[in-house]
Structure 1
Protein backbone atom coordinates (compact mmCIF):
# COMPACT_ATOMS: atom_id res chain seq x y z
CA UNK A 1 0.00 0.00 0.00
CA UNK A 2 2.16 2.85 1.25
CA UNK A 3 5.29 0.76 1.71
CA UNK A 4 6.72 -2.06 -0.38
CA UNK A 5 7.45 -4.45 2.49
CA UNK A 6 4.13 -4.30 4.29
CA UNK A 7 2.19 -7.56 4.65
CA UNK A 8 -1.54 -7.86 3.92
CA UNK A 9 -3.77 -7.05 6.88
CA UNK A 10 -7.42 -7.71 7.69
CA UNK A 11 -9.40 -4.93 9.34
CA UNK A 12 -12.94 -4.85 10.67
CA UNK A 13 -15.06 -2.24 12.46
CA UNK A 14 -15.67 -2.87 16.15
CA UNK A 15 -19.38 -2.10 15.77
CA UNK A 16 -19.79 -4.76 13.08
CA UNK A 17 -17.91 -7.31 15.21
CA UNK A 18 -20.17 -6.65 18.20
CA UNK A 19 -23.24 -7.04 16.00
CA UNK A 20 -21.90 -10.42 14.86
CA UNK A 21 -21.53 -11.71 18.43
CA UNK A 22 -17.98 -10.78 19.42
CA UNK A 23 -17.68 -9.72 23.06
CA UNK A 24 -15.90 -6.54 24.19
CA UNK A 25 -13.44 -8.78 26.02
CA UNK A 26 -12.59 -10.68 22.82
CA UNK A 27 -12.00 -7.40 20.99
CA UNK A 28 -9.43 -6.41 23.62
CA UNK A 29 -7.32 -9.46 22.76
CA UNK A 30 -3.58 -8.90 22.44
CA UNK A 31 -3.78 -10.66 19.07
CA UNK A 32 -5.68 -7.68 17.65
CA UNK A 33 -4.28 -4.26 16.90
CA UNK A 34 -6.15 -0.97 16.94
CA UNK A 35 -4.44 1.63 14.73
CA UNK A 36 -7.44 3.96 15.13
CA UNK A 37 -10.55 3.98 17.27
CA UNK A 38 -13.41 1.72 16.28
CA UNK A 39 -11.28 -0.71 14.22
CA UNK A 40 -9.38 -3.91 14.93
CA UNK A 41 -6.71 -5.60 12.79
CA UNK A 42 -5.82 -9.25 12.40
CA UNK A 43 -2.17 -9.88 11.50
CA UNK A 44 -0.98 -6.27 11.58
CA UNK A 45 2.11 -5.51 9.52
CA UNK A 46 3.76 -3.43 12.24
CA UNK A 47 4.20 -0.56 9.77
CA UNK A 48 2.04 2.24 11.23
CA UNK A 49 1.00 3.92 7.99
CA UNK A 50 0.13 0.61 6.33
CA UNK A 51 -1.90 -0.58 9.32
CA UNK A 52 -3.70 2.74 9.67
CA UNK A 53 -4.58 2.74 5.98
CA UNK A 54 -6.01 -0.77 6.28
CA UNK A 55 -8.05 0.36 9.27
CA UNK A 56 -9.34 3.42 7.45
CA UNK A 57 -10.42 1.26 4.53
CA UNK A 58 -12.72 -0.56 6.96
CA UNK A 59 -14.46 2.60 8.21
CA UNK A 60 -14.24 5.21 5.46
CA UNK A 61 -17.38 6.23 3.64
CA UNK A 62 -17.81 4.90 0.08
CA UNK A 63 -17.34 8.41 -1.32
CA UNK A 64 -13.99 9.03 0.41
CA UNK A 65 -10.62 8.54 -1.29
CA UNK A 66 -6.87 9.02 -0.81
CA UNK A 67 -5.43 12.37 -1.89
CA UNK A 68 -2.37 14.64 -1.74
CA UNK A 69 0.87 12.92 -0.66
CA UNK A 70 -0.91 9.64 0.16
CA UNK A 71 -2.29 9.47 -3.38
CA UNK A 72 1.11 10.44 -4.80
CA UNK A 73 2.67 7.41 -3.13
CA UNK A 74 0.00 5.09 -4.48
CA UNK A 75 0.65 6.51 -7.96
CA UNK A 76 4.39 5.88 -7.51
CA UNK A 77 5.35 9.56 -7.70
CA UNK A 78 8.58 10.79 -6.10
CA UNK A 79 8.23 12.68 -2.83
CA UNK A 80 11.00 14.21 -0.71
CA UNK A 81 12.07 12.26 2.36
CA UNK A 82 10.80 15.03 4.64
CA UNK A 83 7.23 13.98 3.78
CA UNK A 84 6.53 10.84 5.77
CA UNK A 85 3.89 8.19 5.18
CA UNK A 86 1.92 9.70 8.06
CA UNK A 87 -0.40 11.49 8.24
CA UNK A 88 -2.66 9.84 5.70
CA UNK A 89 -4.60 12.25 3.49
CA UNK A 90 -8.21 11.14 3.03
CA UNK A 91 -10.52 13.32 0.99
CA UNK A 92 -14.28 13.70 0.77
CA UNK A 93 -16.21 15.28 -2.08
CA UNK A 94 -16.91 19.01 -1.78
CA UNK A 95 -19.51 19.84 0.90
CA UNK A 96 -19.32 16.32 2.39
CA UNK A 97 -18.07 15.86 5.98
CA UNK A 98 -14.34 15.26 6.43
CA UNK A 99 -12.87 12.40 8.40
CA UNK A 100 -11.31 13.58 11.67
CA UNK A 101 -8.97 11.10 13.35
CA UNK A 102 -5.41 11.14 14.70
CA UNK A 103 -2.79 10.85 11.93
CA UNK A 104 -5.45 11.57 9.31
CA UNK A 105 -5.78 14.83 7.40
CA UNK A 106 -9.29 15.17 6.08
CA UNK A 107 -9.92 17.23 2.96
CA UNK A 108 -12.94 18.37 1.00
CA UNK A 109 -11.92 18.55 -2.65
CA UNK A 110 -13.17 17.93 -6.16
CA UNK A 111 -11.30 15.19 -7.99
CA UNK A 112 -11.75 12.36 -10.41
CA UNK A 113 -11.36 9.09 -8.50
CA UNK A 114 -9.67 5.95 -9.82
CA UNK A 115 -9.04 2.55 -8.24
CA UNK A 116 -5.48 1.28 -7.81
CA UNK A 117 -4.73 -1.94 -6.00
CA UNK A 118 -8.21 -1.96 -4.53
CA UNK A 119 -7.87 1.57 -3.16
CA UNK A 120 -9.89 4.62 -4.15
CA UNK A 121 -7.38 7.32 -5.11
CA UNK A 122 -7.67 10.70 -6.78
CA UNK A 123 -6.45 10.70 -10.39
CA UNK A 124 -2.80 11.45 -11.03
CA UNK A 125 -3.59 14.77 -12.73
CA UNK A 126 -5.67 15.93 -9.75
CA UNK A 127 -3.00 14.66 -7.38
CA UNK A 128 -0.48 16.89 -9.17
CA UNK A 129 -2.63 19.94 -8.37
CA UNK A 130 -3.33 19.04 -4.76
CA UNK A 131 0.16 17.91 -3.77
CA UNK A 132 1.52 21.29 -4.90
CA UNK A 133 0.70 22.74 -1.48
CA UNK A 134 3.05 20.24 0.17
CA UNK A 135 6.05 20.73 -2.14
CA UNK A 136 8.44 23.42 -3.26
CA UNK A 137 8.88 24.32 -6.93
CA UNK A 138 11.66 21.85 -7.75
CA UNK A 139 9.90 18.99 -5.92
CA UNK A 140 6.67 19.65 -7.81
CA UNK A 141 8.50 19.74 -11.15
CA UNK A 142 10.05 16.36 -10.26
CA UNK A 143 6.55 14.98 -9.70
CA UNK A 144 5.48 16.39 -13.07
CA UNK A 145 8.55 14.96 -14.80
CA UNK A 146 7.62 11.53 -13.40
CA UNK A 147 4.04 11.84 -14.64
CA UNK A 148 5.14 12.59 -18.23
CA UNK A 149 8.03 10.07 -18.28
CA UNK A 150 8.09 8.02 -21.49
CA UNK A 151 8.11 4.65 -19.70
CA UNK A 152 5.26 5.45 -17.31
CA UNK A 153 2.19 3.22 -17.91
CA UNK A 154 -0.74 5.38 -18.98
CA UNK A 155 1.53 8.42 -19.09
CA UNK A 156 0.11 11.89 -19.54
CA UNK A 157 1.75 14.82 -21.25
CA UNK A 158 2.17 18.39 -20.05
CA UNK A 159 -0.85 19.51 -22.09
CA UNK A 160 -3.02 17.01 -20.17
CA UNK A 161 -1.83 18.42 -16.84
CA UNK A 162 -2.33 21.99 -18.02
CA UNK A 163 -5.83 21.27 -19.29
CA UNK A 164 -6.79 19.64 -15.99
CA UNK A 165 -5.34 22.59 -14.04
CA UNK A 166 -7.87 24.85 -15.75
CA UNK A 167 -10.58 23.12 -13.71
CA UNK A 168 -9.03 24.73 -10.64
CA UNK A 169 -8.71 28.24 -12.03
CA UNK A 170 -8.69 30.75 -9.18
CA UNK A 171 -8.06 28.15 -6.46
CA UNK A 172 -5.44 28.84 -3.80
CA UNK A 173 -1.91 27.79 -4.76
CA UNK A 174 -2.52 27.51 -8.50
CA UNK A 175 0.32 29.93 -9.24
CA UNK A 176 2.68 27.20 -7.97
CA UNK A 177 1.07 24.68 -10.31
CA UNK A 178 1.30 26.91 -13.39
CA UNK A 179 4.92 27.82 -12.66
CA UNK A 180 5.81 24.13 -12.36
CA UNK A 181 3.96 23.27 -15.57
CA UNK A 182 6.28 25.56 -17.49
CA UNK A 183 9.35 23.68 -16.22
CA UNK A 184 8.25 20.05 -16.71
CA UNK A 185 10.21 18.15 -19.36
CA UNK A 186 10.03 14.65 -20.83
CA UNK A 187 13.23 12.69 -20.28
CA UNK A 188 14.18 13.25 -16.65
CA UNK A 189 14.61 9.85 -15.01
CA UNK A 190 14.94 10.82 -11.36
CA UNK A 191 14.14 13.70 -9.00
CA UNK A 192 17.90 14.35 -8.72
CA UNK A 193 18.19 14.79 -12.48
CA UNK A 194 15.27 17.21 -12.38
CA UNK A 195 16.83 19.19 -9.57
CA UNK A 196 20.17 19.37 -11.36
CA UNK A 197 18.56 20.57 -14.59
CA UNK A 198 16.61 23.30 -12.79
CA UNK A 199 19.71 24.45 -10.89
CA UNK A 200 21.69 24.75 -14.12
CA UNK A 201 18.97 26.69 -15.94
CA UNK A 202 18.48 29.05 -12.99
CA UNK A 203 22.24 29.58 -13.02
CA UNK A 204 22.15 30.89 -16.58
CA UNK A 205 23.12 27.70 -18.42
CA UNK A 206 21.17 27.13 -21.67
CA UNK A 207 18.55 24.44 -21.24
CA UNK A 208 19.92 21.02 -22.21
CA UNK A 209 18.42 18.22 -24.22
CA UNK A 210 17.55 15.18 -22.09
CA UNK A 211 18.53 11.54 -22.61
CA UNK A 212 20.83 12.26 -25.54
CA UNK A 213 22.16 9.25 -27.45
CA UNK A 214 25.80 9.47 -28.55
CA UNK A 215 27.14 7.23 -31.32
CA UNK A 216 30.61 6.67 -32.73
CA UNK A 217 31.63 7.25 -36.35
CA UNK A 218 30.36 3.79 -37.29
CA UNK A 219 26.93 4.55 -35.82
CA UNK A 220 27.37 2.29 -32.82
CA UNK A 221 25.76 3.51 -29.60
CA UNK A 222 28.30 4.69 -27.04
CA UNK A 223 25.80 5.69 -24.42
CA UNK A 224 22.94 7.91 -23.38
CA UNK A 225 23.62 11.09 -21.42
CA UNK A 226 21.22 12.45 -18.79
CA UNK A 227 21.48 15.92 -20.33
CA UNK A 228 23.65 17.39 -23.06
CA UNK A 229 24.33 20.18 -25.54
CA UNK A 230 24.98 18.18 -28.67
CA UNK A 231 26.47 21.05 -30.72
CA UNK A 232 29.16 21.54 -28.05
CA UNK A 233 29.64 17.82 -27.43
CA UNK A 234 29.15 18.59 -23.76
CA UNK A 235 27.17 16.41 -21.37
CA UNK A 236 26.24 16.32 -17.68
CA UNK A 237 25.36 13.18 -15.78
CA UNK A 238 23.98 12.70 -12.29
CA UNK A 239 25.66 9.73 -10.63
CA UNK A 240 23.43 7.99 -8.13
CA UNK A 241 24.70 5.81 -5.32
CA UNK A 242 24.58 2.66 -7.49
CA UNK A 243 27.22 4.08 -9.81
CA UNK A 244 29.74 3.98 -6.95
CA UNK A 245 28.68 0.87 -5.03
CA UNK A 246 28.08 -1.50 -7.96
CA UNK A 247 31.50 -2.62 -9.24
CA UNK A 248 30.12 -3.88 -12.56
CA UNK A 249 28.21 -0.64 -13.17
CA UNK A 250 31.29 1.39 -12.21
CA UNK A 251 33.45 -0.50 -14.70
CA UNK A 252 30.87 0.05 -17.44
CA UNK A 253 30.76 3.76 -16.63
CA UNK A 254 34.55 4.05 -16.88
CA UNK A 255 34.58 2.35 -20.30
CA UNK A 256 31.66 4.40 -21.56
CA UNK A 257 33.25 7.68 -20.49
CA UNK A 258 36.52 6.68 -22.16
CA UNK A 259 34.66 6.09 -25.43
CA UNK A 260 32.83 9.41 -25.06
CA UNK A 261 36.16 11.21 -24.62
CA UNK A 262 37.55 9.43 -27.70
CA UNK A 263 34.52 10.74 -29.62
CA UNK A 264 35.32 14.30 -28.56
CA UNK A 265 32.78 14.64 -25.76
CA UNK A 266 33.32 16.24 -22.37
CA UNK A 267 31.09 14.79 -19.67
CA UNK A 268 30.75 16.43 -16.25
CA UNK A 269 29.69 13.97 -13.58
CA UNK A 270 27.67 15.24 -10.63
CA UNK A 271 26.93 13.61 -7.28
CA UNK A 272 24.53 14.54 -4.50
CA UNK A 273 27.38 16.12 -2.55
CA UNK A 274 28.05 18.48 -5.46
CA UNK A 275 24.64 20.03 -4.86
CA UNK A 276 25.15 20.69 -1.15
CA UNK A 277 26.04 24.32 -1.88
CA UNK A 278 22.91 24.82 -3.96
CA UNK A 279 24.83 23.87 -7.09
CA UNK A 280 26.97 27.02 -7.27
CA UNK A 281 30.21 25.13 -7.99
CA UNK A 282 28.57 22.89 -10.61
CA UNK A 283 26.90 25.86 -12.32
CA UNK A 284 30.26 27.61 -12.53
CA UNK A 285 31.91 24.46 -13.89
CA UNK A 286 29.26 23.90 -16.57
CA UNK A 287 29.24 27.56 -17.59
CA UNK A 288 33.03 27.48 -17.95
CA UNK A 289 32.79 24.35 -20.10
CA UNK A 290 30.24 26.09 -22.31
CA UNK A 291 32.55 29.04 -22.76
CA UNK A 292 35.54 26.82 -23.61
CA UNK A 293 33.69 24.64 -26.12
CA UNK A 294 31.65 27.35 -27.80
CA UNK A 295 32.76 27.84 -31.43
Structure 2
Protein backbone atom coordinates (compact mmCIF):
# COMPACT_ATOMS: atom_id res chain seq x y z
CA UNK A 1 0.00 0.00 0.00
CA UNK A 2 1.39 3.41 -0.97
CA UNK A 3 1.75 6.35 1.37
CA UNK A 4 2.73 10.02 1.39
CA UNK A 5 6.03 8.92 2.86
CA UNK A 6 6.68 6.88 -0.29
CA UNK A 7 5.86 9.93 -2.44
CA UNK A 8 8.48 11.95 -0.59
CA UNK A 9 11.27 9.71 -1.83
CA UNK A 10 12.76 11.51 -4.87
CA UNK A 11 12.81 9.76 -8.23
CA UNK A 12 15.94 9.62 -10.38
CA UNK A 13 16.24 12.74 -12.52
CA UNK A 14 15.96 10.66 -15.71
CA UNK A 15 12.40 9.56 -14.76
CA UNK A 16 10.92 12.76 -13.39
CA UNK A 17 7.97 14.28 -15.21
CA UNK A 18 7.79 11.67 -17.96
CA UNK A 19 6.36 8.19 -18.64
CA UNK A 20 8.46 5.07 -18.17
CA UNK A 21 8.02 1.33 -17.83
CA UNK A 22 7.99 0.00 -14.26
CA UNK A 23 10.85 -2.34 -15.09
CA UNK A 24 13.12 0.62 -15.85
CA UNK A 25 12.32 2.10 -12.45
CA UNK A 26 13.10 -1.13 -10.64
CA UNK A 27 16.40 -1.43 -12.51
CA UNK A 28 17.34 2.02 -11.22
CA UNK A 29 16.73 0.89 -7.65
CA UNK A 30 13.26 2.34 -7.09
CA UNK A 31 11.29 0.19 -4.68
CA UNK A 32 7.92 -1.33 -5.63
CA UNK A 33 6.35 0.73 -2.83
CA UNK A 34 7.69 3.95 -4.38
CA UNK A 35 6.25 2.96 -7.77
CA UNK A 36 2.84 2.61 -6.10
CA UNK A 37 3.05 6.02 -4.40
CA UNK A 38 0.19 8.51 -4.66
CA UNK A 39 2.11 10.91 -6.93
CA UNK A 40 2.37 8.25 -9.68
CA UNK A 41 -0.23 6.57 -11.89
CA UNK A 42 -0.18 3.25 -13.73
CA UNK A 43 -1.77 4.47 -16.94
CA UNK A 44 -1.16 1.26 -18.93
CA UNK A 45 -0.10 -2.17 -17.77
CA UNK A 46 3.55 -1.74 -16.76
CA UNK A 47 3.66 2.00 -17.63
CA UNK A 48 3.97 4.70 -14.99
CA UNK A 49 3.33 8.42 -15.39
CA UNK A 50 3.18 11.36 -12.97
CA UNK A 51 -0.22 11.76 -11.34
CA UNK A 52 -2.36 14.06 -13.52
CA UNK A 53 -0.73 13.00 -16.79
CA UNK A 54 -2.84 14.15 -19.74
CA UNK A 55 -5.42 11.88 -21.33
CA UNK A 56 -5.29 13.55 -24.74
CA UNK A 57 -4.10 11.50 -27.71
CA UNK A 58 -0.56 12.90 -27.77
CA UNK A 59 0.02 12.39 -24.04
CA UNK A 60 -1.41 8.87 -24.12
CA UNK A 61 0.72 8.02 -27.16
CA UNK A 62 3.91 9.26 -25.47
CA UNK A 63 3.13 7.05 -22.48
CA UNK A 64 2.17 3.96 -24.47
CA UNK A 65 5.25 4.31 -26.70
CA UNK A 66 7.46 3.33 -23.76
CA UNK A 67 6.14 -0.24 -23.97
CA UNK A 68 5.47 -0.63 -27.70
CA UNK A 69 7.23 -3.34 -29.64
CA UNK A 70 8.86 -2.63 -33.01
CA UNK A 71 5.94 -4.35 -34.76
CA UNK A 72 3.40 -1.89 -33.32
CA UNK A 73 2.46 1.50 -34.73
CA UNK A 74 -0.05 4.22 -34.02
CA UNK A 75 -2.71 4.23 -36.74
CA UNK A 76 -6.15 5.42 -37.82
CA UNK A 77 -7.37 8.59 -36.10
CA UNK A 78 -4.50 8.42 -33.57
CA UNK A 79 -1.96 8.73 -36.35
CA UNK A 80 -4.05 11.50 -37.90
CA UNK A 81 -3.91 13.50 -34.66
CA UNK A 82 -0.17 12.94 -34.26
CA UNK A 83 0.39 13.95 -37.89
CA UNK A 84 -1.67 17.10 -37.43
CA UNK A 85 -4.21 16.21 -40.12
CA UNK A 86 -7.50 18.07 -40.38
CA UNK A 87 -9.94 16.12 -38.21
CA UNK A 88 -13.40 16.67 -36.73
CA UNK A 89 -13.21 17.88 -33.13
CA UNK A 90 -14.74 14.64 -31.83
CA UNK A 91 -11.93 12.51 -33.23
CA UNK A 92 -9.22 14.93 -32.12
CA UNK A 93 -10.43 14.89 -28.53
CA UNK A 94 -11.26 11.18 -28.22
CA UNK A 95 -9.27 9.60 -25.37
CA UNK A 96 -8.21 6.42 -27.14
CA UNK A 97 -5.26 5.07 -29.06
CA UNK A 98 -5.49 3.07 -32.27
CA UNK A 99 -2.54 0.68 -32.35
CA UNK A 100 -1.84 -1.70 -35.25
CA UNK A 101 0.41 -4.74 -35.28
CA UNK A 102 1.26 -7.31 -37.95
CA UNK A 103 -1.40 -9.95 -38.80
CA UNK A 104 0.55 -12.80 -37.22
CA UNK A 105 0.16 -11.18 -33.79
CA UNK A 106 -2.86 -10.56 -31.59
CA UNK A 107 -4.25 -7.04 -31.83
CA UNK A 108 -3.25 -4.92 -28.81
CA UNK A 109 -5.91 -4.31 -26.20
CA UNK A 110 -6.33 -2.66 -22.85
CA UNK A 111 -7.52 0.59 -21.29
CA UNK A 112 -7.58 3.42 -23.87
CA UNK A 113 -6.46 0.97 -26.61
CA UNK A 114 -8.24 -0.04 -29.84
CA UNK A 115 -6.17 -2.71 -31.49
CA UNK A 116 -5.90 -3.64 -35.17
CA UNK A 117 -3.83 -5.92 -37.35
CA UNK A 118 -2.36 -5.07 -40.74
CA UNK A 119 0.76 -4.05 -42.62
CA UNK A 120 0.41 -0.31 -43.27
CA UNK A 121 3.32 1.87 -44.34
CA UNK A 122 4.88 3.58 -41.33
CA UNK A 123 7.63 6.02 -40.39
CA UNK A 124 9.12 7.50 -37.24
CA UNK A 125 7.59 10.78 -36.12
CA UNK A 126 10.03 11.80 -33.41
CA UNK A 127 10.02 8.80 -31.08
CA UNK A 128 6.62 7.55 -32.27
CA UNK A 129 6.05 5.02 -35.04
CA UNK A 130 2.97 6.11 -37.00
CA UNK A 131 1.29 5.26 -40.27
CA UNK A 132 2.18 7.50 -43.20
CA UNK A 133 -0.31 10.22 -44.22
CA UNK A 134 -1.63 8.16 -47.13
CA UNK A 135 -1.87 4.94 -45.08
CA UNK A 136 -3.71 6.93 -42.41
CA UNK A 137 -6.16 8.29 -44.99
CA UNK A 138 -6.93 4.76 -46.15
CA UNK A 139 -7.70 3.70 -42.58
CA UNK A 140 -9.94 6.74 -42.06
CA UNK A 141 -11.97 5.72 -45.11
CA UNK A 142 -14.02 3.32 -43.01
CA UNK A 143 -14.32 5.66 -40.01
CA UNK A 144 -15.41 9.02 -41.41
CA UNK A 145 -18.12 10.67 -43.45
CA UNK A 146 -17.50 11.67 -47.04
CA UNK A 147 -17.21 15.38 -46.17
CA UNK A 148 -14.72 14.72 -43.38
CA UNK A 149 -12.62 12.61 -45.75
CA UNK A 150 -12.61 15.46 -48.28
CA UNK A 151 -11.41 17.79 -45.51
CA UNK A 152 -8.58 15.41 -44.56
CA UNK A 153 -7.53 14.87 -48.19
CA UNK A 154 -7.69 18.60 -48.93
CA UNK A 155 -5.31 19.05 -46.00
CA UNK A 156 -2.86 16.58 -47.52
CA UNK A 157 -2.78 18.83 -50.61
CA UNK A 158 -2.78 22.13 -48.72
CA UNK A 159 -1.18 25.28 -50.09
CA UNK A 160 1.22 25.92 -47.22
CA UNK A 161 2.33 22.40 -46.24
CA UNK A 162 1.32 19.70 -48.76
CA UNK A 163 2.06 16.13 -47.67
CA UNK A 164 1.50 14.45 -51.07
CA UNK A 165 0.85 15.36 -54.70
CA UNK A 166 -2.44 14.92 -56.53
CA UNK A 167 -0.85 12.19 -58.63
CA UNK A 168 0.27 10.31 -55.52
CA UNK A 169 -3.17 10.64 -53.93
CA UNK A 170 -5.06 9.37 -56.97
CA UNK A 171 -2.64 6.46 -57.44
CA UNK A 172 -2.94 5.52 -53.78
CA UNK A 173 -6.75 5.49 -53.80
CA UNK A 174 -6.80 3.44 -57.02
CA UNK A 175 -4.48 0.95 -55.34
CA UNK A 176 -6.89 0.46 -52.42
CA UNK A 177 -9.58 -1.13 -54.59
CA UNK A 178 -11.41 -3.81 -52.64
CA UNK A 179 -10.22 -2.64 -49.24
CA UNK A 180 -12.44 -1.28 -46.47
CA UNK A 181 -13.43 2.32 -47.09
CA UNK A 182 -12.42 2.28 -50.77
CA UNK A 183 -15.79 3.34 -52.15
CA UNK A 184 -16.08 6.20 -49.66
CA UNK A 185 -12.57 7.40 -50.49
CA UNK A 186 -13.22 7.10 -54.22
CA UNK A 187 -16.38 9.20 -53.83
CA UNK A 188 -14.51 11.78 -51.73
CA UNK A 189 -11.75 12.09 -54.33
CA UNK A 190 -14.21 13.75 -56.74
CA UNK A 191 -14.47 16.74 -54.38
CA UNK A 192 -10.84 17.00 -53.27
CA UNK A 193 -8.95 20.12 -54.35
CA UNK A 194 -5.38 21.42 -54.03
CA UNK A 195 -4.11 24.52 -52.22
CA UNK A 196 -6.77 24.91 -49.52
CA UNK A 197 -5.85 26.57 -46.24
CA UNK A 198 -8.46 25.32 -43.77
CA UNK A 199 -11.21 22.82 -43.05
CA UNK A 200 -13.82 25.61 -43.01
CA UNK A 201 -12.72 26.64 -46.50
CA UNK A 202 -13.37 23.09 -47.72
CA UNK A 203 -16.73 22.94 -45.94
CA UNK A 204 -17.80 26.24 -47.49
CA UNK A 205 -16.82 25.07 -50.97
CA UNK A 206 -18.81 21.84 -50.55
CA UNK A 207 -21.88 23.75 -49.35
CA UNK A 208 -21.71 26.08 -52.34
CA UNK A 209 -21.45 23.26 -54.88
CA UNK A 210 -24.23 21.22 -53.29
CA UNK A 211 -26.47 24.27 -53.28
CA UNK A 212 -26.21 24.25 -57.07
CA UNK A 213 -23.83 27.19 -57.38
CA UNK A 214 -20.72 27.30 -59.59
CA UNK A 215 -17.62 26.05 -57.81
CA UNK A 216 -15.38 28.95 -56.76
CA UNK A 217 -11.65 28.90 -57.43
CA UNK A 218 -9.26 28.35 -54.51
CA UNK A 219 -6.57 30.75 -53.24
CA UNK A 220 -6.86 33.12 -56.15
CA UNK A 221 -4.00 35.65 -56.49
CA UNK A 222 -5.26 39.23 -56.50
CA UNK A 223 -3.09 41.46 -58.64
CA UNK A 224 -2.63 45.19 -58.72
CA UNK A 225 -3.02 47.14 -61.94
CA UNK A 226 0.74 46.85 -62.28
CA UNK A 227 0.49 43.05 -62.13
CA UNK A 228 1.89 42.61 -58.62
CA UNK A 229 0.19 40.04 -56.35
CA UNK A 230 -1.18 42.01 -53.39
CA UNK A 231 -3.18 39.24 -51.68
CA UNK A 232 -4.72 35.80 -52.05
CA UNK A 233 -8.47 35.18 -51.84
CA UNK A 234 -9.61 32.00 -50.07
CA UNK A 235 -12.42 31.40 -52.57
CA UNK A 236 -13.27 33.56 -55.55
CA UNK A 237 -15.04 33.93 -58.88
CA UNK A 238 -12.37 35.80 -60.89
CA UNK A 239 -14.64 36.35 -63.88
CA UNK A 240 -16.96 38.32 -61.58
CA UNK A 241 -14.29 39.95 -59.37
CA UNK A 242 -16.09 38.36 -56.42
CA UNK A 243 -14.32 37.03 -53.29
CA UNK A 244 -15.83 34.78 -50.61
CA UNK A 245 -14.14 35.22 -47.25
CA UNK A 246 -14.90 32.96 -44.29
CA UNK A 247 -14.96 34.85 -40.99
CA UNK A 248 -13.71 32.18 -38.60
CA UNK A 249 -13.41 32.16 -34.83
CA UNK A 250 -9.80 33.36 -35.08
CA UNK A 251 -11.17 36.84 -35.72
CA UNK A 252 -12.46 36.76 -32.16
CA UNK A 253 -9.66 34.82 -30.48
CA UNK A 254 -6.59 36.03 -32.39
CA UNK A 255 -6.45 39.79 -32.73
CA UNK A 256 -3.15 39.72 -34.63
CA UNK A 257 -4.67 37.48 -37.32
CA UNK A 258 -7.77 39.67 -37.34
CA UNK A 259 -5.71 42.76 -38.21
CA UNK A 260 -3.76 40.84 -40.88
CA UNK A 261 -7.04 39.79 -42.51
CA UNK A 262 -8.44 43.32 -42.35
CA UNK A 263 -5.38 44.63 -44.19
CA UNK A 264 -5.58 41.82 -46.76
CA UNK A 265 -9.27 42.47 -47.47
CA UNK A 266 -8.57 46.18 -47.82
CA UNK A 267 -5.98 45.42 -50.50
CA UNK A 268 -8.46 43.15 -52.29
CA UNK A 269 -11.27 45.72 -52.35
CA UNK A 270 -8.85 48.46 -53.42
CA UNK A 271 -8.24 46.47 -56.60
CA UNK A 272 -11.94 46.50 -57.44
CA UNK A 273 -13.06 43.16 -56.03
CA UNK A 274 -16.24 42.72 -54.03
CA UNK A 275 -15.89 40.69 -50.82
CA UNK A 276 -18.71 38.64 -49.30
CA UNK A 277 -17.93 37.68 -45.71
CA UNK A 278 -19.34 34.29 -44.72
CA UNK A 279 -19.95 33.35 -41.09
CA UNK A 280 -21.34 30.38 -39.15
CA UNK A 281 -24.90 31.66 -39.59
CA UNK A 282 -24.54 31.39 -43.36
CA UNK A 283 -22.90 27.96 -43.06
CA UNK A 284 -25.89 26.72 -41.06
CA UNK A 285 -28.31 27.71 -43.84
CA UNK A 286 -27.12 26.60 -47.30
CA UNK A 287 -30.26 28.06 -48.90
CA UNK A 288 -29.52 31.52 -47.52
CA UNK A 289 -25.86 31.17 -48.49
CA UNK A 290 -26.75 30.18 -52.06
CA UNK A 291 -29.17 33.09 -52.40
CA UNK A 292 -26.50 35.51 -51.16
CA UNK A 293 -23.93 34.28 -53.68
CA UNK A 294 -26.47 34.04 -56.52
CA UNK A 295 -27.51 37.65 -55.98
CA UNK A 296 -23.87 38.80 -55.91
CA UNK A 297 -23.06 36.93 -59.12
CA UNK A 298 -26.13 38.33 -60.85
CA UNK A 299 -25.24 41.83 -59.70
CA UNK A 300 -21.68 41.46 -60.98
CA UNK A 301 -22.93 40.15 -64.33
CA UNK A 302 -25.38 43.07 -64.64
CA UNK A 303 -22.59 45.54 -63.94
CA UNK A 304 -20.32 43.80 -66.41
CA UNK A 305 -18.17 42.57 -63.50
Is 2:220 the counterpart of 1:212?
Answer: yes
Structure 1 contact 132–177 (Cα < 8 Å) conserved: yes
Mapping 1:139-178, distance limit 5 Å? 139-152=148-161, 155-178=163-186
Aligned-pair CA distance for 1:44: 5.6
* Equivalent-residue separation in structure 1 for 2:200 and 2:169 (angstroms): 22
CA-to-aligned-CA distance 1:25-72 (integer Å, 9 cap, x gap): 23212232211222222x466212344323311222210000011101
* Equivalent-residue separation in structure 1 for 2:173 and 2:262 (angstroms): 44
- Runs of 4 or more off by more than 6 Å in structure 1? none
Q: Give TM-score, length-normalised by structure 1.
A: 0.86
The answer for unaligned runs of 5 or more in structure 2 is: 1-15
Structure 1 contact 9–51 (Cα < 8 Å) conserved: no
* Equivalent-residue separation in structure 1 for 2:268 and 2:67 (angstroms): 58
Mapping 1:1-295, distance limit 5 Å? 9-15=17-23, 17-18=25-26, 22-41=30-49, 43=50, 46-49=53-56, 50-83=58-91, 84-152=93-161, 155-244=163-252, 250=258, 253-254=261-262, 256-258=264-266, 260-277=268-285, 279-294=286-301
* Equivalent-residue separation in structure 1 for 2:166 and 2:194 (angstroms): 9
Aligned-pair CA distance for 1:74: 1.4
* Equivalent-residue separation in structure 2 for 1:252 and 1:122 (angstroms): 36
* Equivalent-residue separation in structure 2 for 1:30 and 1:44 (angstroms): 7
CA-to-aligned-CA distance 1:66-125 (integer Å, 9 cap, x gap): 001110111111111112241111111233211111111111122111001111000111
Tell me how large the CA RMSD over aligned residues is: 2.5
Go from structure 1 to structure 2 and tell me whether the alpha carbon gap of 1:46 and 1:39 turns closer, same or farther (over 3 Å shift): closer
* Equivalent-residue separation in structure 1 for 2:255 and 2:37 (angstroms): 51
Go from structure 1 to structure 2 and tell me whether the alpha carbon gap of 1:75 and 1:247 turns closer, same or farther (over 3 Å shift): closer
> How many aligned positions are there?
285
Secondary structure (helix, strand or coil) at the match of 2:66 reads: helix
The answer for unaligned runs of 5 or more in structure 1 is: 1-7
Structure 2 contact 155–197 (Cα < 8 Å) conserved: yes
